[in-house]
């Protein structure tokens, strides 16, 4: 970069402006304001031989500004921010003062850099910027947009690092309490897993400071949502959330445990409290988390977004994610979640990310094994987030950086990262011996003072505290913990219910209201230029509203949303291509063919309707489903839907399905009404576009934890969606949705059939078949029914009945008994499916028939397969034809 560009691109360095101002001052002292008069009188009105001659100023200024630029750009690589002093980089040549290409005899000469610093010698300027960028913290921010960069640069360089005596005493007390808790639990339960925070104890003052600092904002209500893994969770539960120490002890002793409310290990559990500080209520929610470390990231985002969508003015929502250094680089859900952070459907105005960087992952501390990037936080650069690398042994620097980070997040509504470079005093858990794999590291750690000792010695030296003050804190801790309860400066109350929506009563609609609703959402403004193919679909919907033709799937689905919105209940839908629908059947969002402006008819039903939001998601399953789960547990009185592009792709979100959707209520008491739509069906499209793996969902079913349905009629889909908002006890709903059936006339439903809100868990034989002639009963689900129906008509078979099971779980056992009894007990019973024998619902159905119904049932379907489907259409057709033949001939 040439000199002129350098001058133009660095702030606070306009020498020419200064010269112009000085000339005005010389001519007329009153022509400049008081601060400038004082500045010029102090620095320029005397003959100062230490000031650099003007003719050399330009060249020297270039060197100085280049040096400052280097500190700002690469200073973080050489910061003294590692308490273990491992892998410390030697300072780069360009940052050494002897390499500034300046004559030594002018290093002590003074030069003007900016109005804040005034006249300073070159050595002084060098030391100032070295101390800012290479001491106990390093900062990465040069890649930010220019306005953010300038703001942050000013904050970093000109904010005084000052703390009152009382603040310092508070920090020390919080550190001592954090350490005391760990030692208390460690002594009481030696050799038991607790995942100690020791080595990064500063996390407790950080979280306390966040509460104090954010309480200064002008807001009536503040919500802080906290996500973290198990490291330090028990400490946070007690010292931040106010969970009673006696409860923690009971959990260690396995006594007084109510497994009806929560049934998980103690270091996975969450807690909700209300803290009162500065006359404000601060709602704290530490969200439960499984051992899949980073999967909580999108969940807390979803909780935050649900709160944003229903807050009134003057409320603050602050999400905080606490990561581990190995996990944040190793788990892909972090990238997925960051990618969502600034998108329309998932933006939550920024998250504060705190990394407990203990420089090790379980037994692995070799950076070359853990990651390919220099920092564990390099992933944050994908969203241009500022990153602060701070020495976790220096509490004052940590709090200083924290305040800047909060200010940045609040001003720009973007994510910010604080990398707490620390260590882990013991093994991964307390039963591990880290010396086996990290002998050098742990030899150093054993000799290394704790942050409490470091900071208390500092305050003793500064005469801010005395030994009596420290002894009193320890005595206070002893009394508190021996009483088996934790004290807090806040008034704490447990929030037992995360959801505060009023329950909505759902009224069944007469035909005239349904007609009006359907007509309203099918009417397009006159000046809107709709695509000709979509226009045909909407004209058909008008005809459906007039009962001229039955409703197809897309229309029935949209009418369900209209009905729900009409009650004042909000709807949120997300998924890849959901606005149009993967199979071009939904068309909930229309696009003007001239302007490209979208139009959503469901937003214009009436003024009192619920809020309707629909978002095409990022190309991700795990993070998006995690987000929607979080949204649904926070706001479970609205209709919440996630749709997979194809059901096959949902296995990309298997962690969320296993750890949250199916078991979140059992483990943590979370109630979710999330609907998951999974397009499913064998149509010759290959192994990645055929199966939603229904067998996996059935395997997860127990204790009435969720519903699994396979509707075969458009009206059934309508009922399922409407009924979901009626649940008193919320349950997730998994729907295997059709593909080719979306346009099959046999699946369409007359509008008049939707006036009674009822879902048929089983659909009996629809044709008039003489019961006396029946020889076989075929139970089935989904698309195969229509293939069987067509084949039966072709071969004119009148001795086989076809029974559709539309709800697989909870299984309609009594209804099945009635069906079997209806057709007498001596008939042969079959289960027919498209999926291979080792997949689909066969093993689930077989178990129920043999063990609960005491009936033998025979299998018709594809042979066992390691893959879901063939990739060749001719083989698919042969397999399908073979299934149909066997269904009526074996």
pLDDT of residue 200: 97
Q: Would you state the structure tokens that stand for residue 689, as one six-digit string? A: 């576009």
Asked if pLDDT for residue 547 goes beyond 90, the answer is yes
Q: pLDDT category, 499, cuts 50, 70, 90?
A: very low
pLDDT of residue 504: 40
pLDDT, tens digit, for every residue of 788-830? Answer: 999 999 999 999 999 999 999 999 999 999 999 998 767 899 9
Q: Quick count: other Cβ atoms within 10 Å of Cβ 703?
A: 8
pLDDT of residue 110: 75
Radius of gyration of the chain (CA): 33
Q: pLDDT category, 756, cuts 50, 70, 90?
A: confident
The rounded mean pLDDT for the chain is 90
**Contact present, 724 and 759 (Cβ < 8 Å):** no
> Closest by alpha carbon to 654, among 685, 699, 617, 614?
699
**Contact present, 579 and 614 (Cβ < 8 Å):** yes
The residue ranking higher by pLDDT, 89 or 831, is 831
* Cα distance between the two ends of the chain: 83
> Closest by alpha carbon to 681, among 495, 541, 880?
880
Say whether domain 165-482 belongs to CATH 3.40.50.970. yes
Section 557-573 average pLDDT: 97
> Closest by alpha carbon to 120, among 62, 168, 51, 171?
51
Output DSSP code: residue 679. E
pLDDT of residue 484: 54
Output DSSP code: residue 92. P
**Torsions phi, psi for 387 (to 5 deg):** -130, 130
Asked if pLDDT for residue 621 goes beyond 90, the answer is yes
Least confident of 3-12, 82-91, 452-461: 3-12
> Closest by alpha carbon to 733, among 695, 668, 677?
677
pLDDT of residue 10: 33
Q: Could you write out the three-class secondary structure of 453-512?
A: HHHHHHHHHCCCCCHHHHHHHHHHHHHHHHCCCCCCCCCCCECCCCCCCCCCCCCCCCHH
pLDDT of residue 608: 94
Least confident of 371-380, 498-507, 730-739: 498-507
> Closest by alpha carbon to 75, among 95, 46, 97?
95
Distance, in Å, from the CA atom of 162 to the CA atom of 157, rounded to the nearest integer, reads: 14
Distance, in Å, from the CA atom of 399 to the CA atom of 383, rounded to the nearest integer, reads: 24
**Contact present, 820 and 853 (Cβ < 8 Å):** yes
Three-class DSSP category at 745: helix
Distance, in Å, from the CA atom of 277 to the CA atom of 257, rounded to the nearest integer, reads: 31
Q: pLDDT category, 491, cuts 50, 70, 90?
A: very low
Q: Would you state the structure tokens that stand for residue 607, as one six-digit string? A: 């003024």
CA 770, 847, 814, 636 dihedral sign is: negative
Upper half-sphere CA count for residue 242 (Cβ side, 13 Å): 18
Upper half-sphere CA count for residue 112 (Cβ side, 13 Å): 19
pLDDT of residue 17: 65
One DSSP character per residue, 598-665 reads EE-GGG-S-TTPPPEEEEEPPS-SHHHHHHHHHHHHHSTTSEEEEE-SSGGGGGGGHHHIIIIITTHH
Asked if pLDDT for residue 167 goes beyond 70, the answer is yes
Between the ranges 216-225, 368-377, 402-411, where is the mean pLDDT highest?
Answer: 402-411
**Contact present, 521 and 601 (Cβ < 8 Å):** yes
Asked if pLDDT for residue 505 goes beyond 50, the answer is no
Distance, in Å, from the CA atom of 70 to the CA atom of 68, rounded to the nearest integer, reads: 5
Strand partners, 591: 598
Three-class DSSP category at 364: strand
Asked if pLDDT for residue 24 goes beyond 70, the answer is yes
pLDDT of residue 709: 99
pLDDT of residue 34: 79
Q: Would you state the structure tokens that stand for residue 113, as one six-digit string? A: 């850099």
Distance, in Å, from the CA atom of 792 to the CA atom of 787, rounded to the nearest integer, reads: 9
Q: Could you write out the three-class secondary structure of 28-82?
A: CHHHCCHHHHHHHHHHCCCCCCCECCHHHHHHHHHHHHHHHHHHHHHHHHHCCCC
> Closest by alpha carbon to 28, among 16, 40, 17?
40
Distance, in Å, from the CA atom of 122 to the CA atom of 130, rounded to the nearest integer, reads: 12
Section 268-293 average pLDDT: 93
The residue ranking higher by pLDDT, 73 or 90, is 73
Q: How many residues does the chain have?
A: 890
Distance, in Å, from the CA atom of 762 to the CA atom of 807, rounded to the nearest integer, reads: 7
One DSSP character per residue, 186-251 reads HHHSTTS-----TT-TTHHHHHHHHHHHHTTSS-SEEEEEEEE-STTHHHHHHHTT---HHHHHHH
Contacts of 369 (CB under 8 A, 6+ apart): none
The residue ranking higher by pLDDT, 494 or 665, is 665
Section 482-510 average pLDDT: 46
Section 532-542 average pLDDT: 97
**Contact present, 650 and 678 (Cβ < 8 Å):** yes
Section 131-148 average pLDDT: 95
pLDDT of residue 495: 33
Section 594-616 average pLDDT: 97
Q: pLDDT category, 102, cuts 50, 70, 90?
A: low
Asked if pLDDT for residue 227 goes beyond 90, the answer is yes
Asked if pLDDT for residue 493 goes beyond 50, the answer is no
CA 126, 128, 129, 131 dihedral sign is: positive
Between the ranges 269-278, 474-483, 643-652, where is the mean pLDDT highest?
Answer: 643-652
**Contact present, 671 and 636 (Cβ < 8 Å):** yes
Section 390-401 average pLDDT: 98
Section 28-52 average pLDDT: 67
pLDDT, tens digit, for every residue of 769-782? Answer: 888 889 999 999 99
Asked if pLDDT for residue 26 goes beyond 70, the answer is no
Q: pLDDT category, 620, cuts 50, 70, 90?
A: very high
Q: pLDDT category, 1, cuts 50, 70, 90?
A: very low
pLDDT, tens digit, for every residue of 314-355? Answer: 789 999 999 999 999 999 999 999 999 999 999 999 999 999
pLDDT of residue 542: 98
Section 131-143 average pLDDT: 94
pLDDT of residue 101: 59
Asked if pLDDT for residue 218 goes beyond 50, the answer is yes
pLDDT of residue 16: 57
Distance, in Å, from the CA atom of 481 to the CA atom of 256, rounded to the nearest integer, reads: 19
Least confident of 237-246, 493-502, 510-519, 601-610: 493-502
Three-class DSSP category at 413: coil
Output DSSP code: residue 775. -
Section 102-117 average pLDDT: 70
Q: Could you write out the three-class secondary structure of 505-559?
A: CCCCCCHHHHHHHHHHHCCCCCCCCCCHHHHHHHHHHHHHHCCCCCECHHHHHHH
Please state, for a pLDDT cut of 90, what percent of the chain lies above it: 76
Distance, in Å, from the CA atom of 369 to the CA atom of 365, rounded to the nearest integer, reads: 8
> Closest by alpha carbon to 473, among 174, 890, 738?
174
pLDDT, tens digit, for every residue of 704-734? Answer: 999 999 999 999 999 999 999 988 899 999 9
How far, CA to CA in Å, does 334 sit from each of 291, 297, 351, 624?
A: 15, 7, 13, 12
Q: Quick count: other Cβ atoms within 10 Å of Cβ 383?
A: 15
pLDDT, tens digit, for every residue of 847-859? Answer: 999 999 999 999 9
**Contact present, 624 and 642 (Cβ < 8 Å):** yes
What is the dotted CATH code of the domain comprising 762-889? 3.40.50.11610
**Contact present, 774 and 823 (Cβ < 8 Å):** yes
Output b/e per residue, 860-886; b: 16+ Cβ within 10 A.
bbbeeeeebbbeeeeebeebbeebbee
Q: Where are the domains of the chain?
A: 3-135, 165-482, 511-754, 762-889
Output b/e per residue, 323-335; b: 16+ Cβ within 10 A.
bbbbbbbebebbb
Cβ-in-10-Å burial (0-12, 13-18, 19+) of 149 comes to middle
Output DSSP code: residue 303. H
pLDDT of residue 651: 96
pTM (predicted TM-score): 0.91
Three-class DSSP category at 562: helix
Asked if pLDDT for residue 563 goes beyond 50, the answer is yes
**Contact present, 406 and 210 (Cβ < 8 Å):** yes
Torsion of CA 155, 157, 161, 162, to 10 degrees: -80
Which CATH fold topology does 511-754 show? Rossmann fold (3.40.50)
Asked if pLDDT for residue 116 goes beyond 50, the answer is yes
Distance, in Å, from the CA atom of 54 to the CA atom of 20, rounded to the nearest integer, reads: 14
């Amino acid at each position: 970069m040439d000199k002129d560009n350098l001058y133009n691109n660095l702030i606070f360095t306009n020498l020419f402006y200064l010269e112009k101002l000085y000339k005005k001052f010389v001519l007329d002292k009153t022509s400049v304001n008081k601060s400038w008069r004082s500045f010029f009188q102090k620095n320029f009105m005397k003959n100062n031989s230490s000031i650099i001659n003007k003719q050399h100023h330009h060249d020297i200024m270039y060197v100085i500004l280049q040096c400052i630029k280097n500190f700002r750009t690469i200073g973080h690589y050489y910061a003294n921010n590692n308490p273990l002093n491992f892998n410390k980089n030697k300072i780069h040549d360009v940052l050494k003062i002897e390499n500034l290409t300046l004559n030594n005899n002018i290093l002590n000469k003074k030069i003007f850099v900016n109005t804040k610093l005034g006249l300073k010698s070159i050595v002084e300027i060098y030391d100032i910027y070295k101390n800012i960028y290479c001491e106990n913290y390093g900062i990465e921010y040069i890649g930010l947009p220019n306005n953010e960069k300038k703001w942050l640069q000013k904050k970093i360089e000109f904010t005084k690092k000052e703390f009152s005596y009382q603040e310092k005493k508070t920090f020390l007390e919080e550190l001592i309490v954090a350490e005391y808790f760990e030692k208390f639990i460690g002594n009481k339960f030696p050799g038991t897993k607790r995942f100690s925070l020791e080595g990064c104890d500063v996390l407790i003052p950080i979280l306390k400071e966040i509460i104090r600092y954010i309480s200064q904002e002008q807001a009536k209500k503040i919500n802080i949502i906290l996500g973290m893994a198990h490291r330090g969770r028990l400490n946070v539960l007690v010292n931040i959330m106010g969970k009673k120490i006696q409860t923690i002890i009971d959990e260690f002793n396995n006594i007084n445990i109510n497994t009806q409310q929560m049934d998980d290990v103690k270091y996975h559990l969450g807690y909700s409290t209300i803290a009162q500080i500065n006359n404000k209520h601060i709602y704290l929610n530490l969200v439960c988390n499984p051992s899949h470390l980073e999967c909580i990231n999108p969940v807390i985002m979803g909780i935050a977004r649900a709160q944003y969508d229903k807050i009134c003015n003057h409320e603050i929502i602050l999400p905080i994610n606490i990561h581990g250094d190995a996990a944040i680089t190793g788990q892909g859900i972090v990238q997925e979640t960051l990618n969502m952070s600034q998108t329309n459907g998932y933006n939550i105005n920024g998250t504060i990310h705190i990394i407990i960087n203990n420089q090790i992952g379980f037994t692995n501390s070799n950076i070359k094994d853990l990651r390919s990037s220099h920092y564990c936080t390099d992933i944050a650069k994908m969203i241009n987030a500022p990153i602060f690398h701070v020495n976790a042994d220096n509490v004052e620097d940590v709090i200083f950086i924290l305040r800047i980070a909060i200010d940045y997040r609040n001003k720009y509504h973007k994510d910010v990262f604080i990398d707490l470079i620390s260590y882990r005093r013991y093994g991964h858990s307390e039963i591990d011996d880290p010396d086996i794999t990290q002998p050098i590291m742990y030899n150093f750690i054993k000799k290394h003072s704790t942050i409490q000792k470091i900071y208390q010695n500092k305050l003793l030296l500064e005469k801010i505290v005395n030994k009596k003050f420290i002894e009193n804190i320890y005595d206070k801790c002893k009394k508190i913990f021996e009483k088996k309860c934790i004290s807090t400066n806040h008034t704490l109350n447990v929030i037992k219910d995360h959801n505060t929506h009023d329950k909505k009563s759902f009224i069944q609609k007469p035909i005239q209201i349904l007609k009006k609703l359907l007509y309203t959402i099918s009417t397009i403004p006159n000046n809107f230029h709709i695509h000709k193919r979509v226009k045909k679909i909407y004209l058909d919907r008008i005809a459906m509203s007039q009962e001229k033709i039955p409703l197809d799937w897309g229309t029935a689905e949209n009418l369900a949303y209209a009905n729900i919105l009409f009650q004042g209940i909000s709807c949120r839908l997300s998924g890849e291509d959901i606005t149009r629908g993967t199979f071009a059947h939904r068309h909930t969002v229309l696009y003007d063919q001239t302007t490209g402006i979208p139009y959503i008819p469901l937003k214009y039903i009436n003024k009192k309707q619920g809020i309707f939001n629909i978002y095409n998601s990022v190309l991700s399953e795990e993070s998006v489903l995690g987000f929607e789960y979080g949204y649904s547990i926070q706001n479970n009185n609205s209709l919440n839907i996630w749709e997979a592009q194809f059901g096959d792709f949902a296995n990309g979100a298997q962690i969320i399905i296993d750890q949250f959707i199916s078991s979140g209520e059992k483990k943590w008491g979370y109630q979710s009404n999330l609907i998951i739509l999974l397009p499913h069906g064998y149509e010759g499209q290959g192994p990645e576009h055929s199966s939603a793996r229904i067998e996996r969902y059935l395997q997860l079913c127990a204790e009435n934890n969720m519903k699994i349905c396979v509707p075969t009629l458009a009206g059934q889909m309508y009922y399922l969606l409407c009924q979901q908002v009626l649940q008193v006890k919320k349950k997730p709903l998994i729907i295997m949705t059709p593909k080719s059936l979306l346009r099959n006339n046999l699946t369409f439903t007359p509008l008049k059939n939707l006036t009674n809100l009822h879902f048929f868990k089983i659909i009996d034989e629809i044709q008039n078949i003489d019961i006396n002639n029946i020889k076989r009963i075929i139970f089935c689900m989904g698309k195969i029914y229509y293939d069987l129906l067509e084949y039966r008509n072709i071969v004119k078979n009148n001795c086989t009945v076809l029974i559709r099971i539309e709800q697989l779980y909870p299984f309609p056992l009594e209804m099945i008994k009635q069906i079997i009894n209806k057709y007498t007990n001596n008939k042969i019973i079959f289960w027919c499916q498209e999926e291979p024998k080792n997949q689909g619902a066969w093993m689930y159905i077989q178990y129920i028939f043999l063990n609960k119904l005491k009936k033998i049932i025979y299998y018709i379907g594809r042979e066992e397969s390691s893959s879901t489907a063939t990739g060749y259409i001719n083989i698919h057709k042969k397999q399908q034809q073979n299934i149909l033949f066997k269904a009526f001939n074996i």
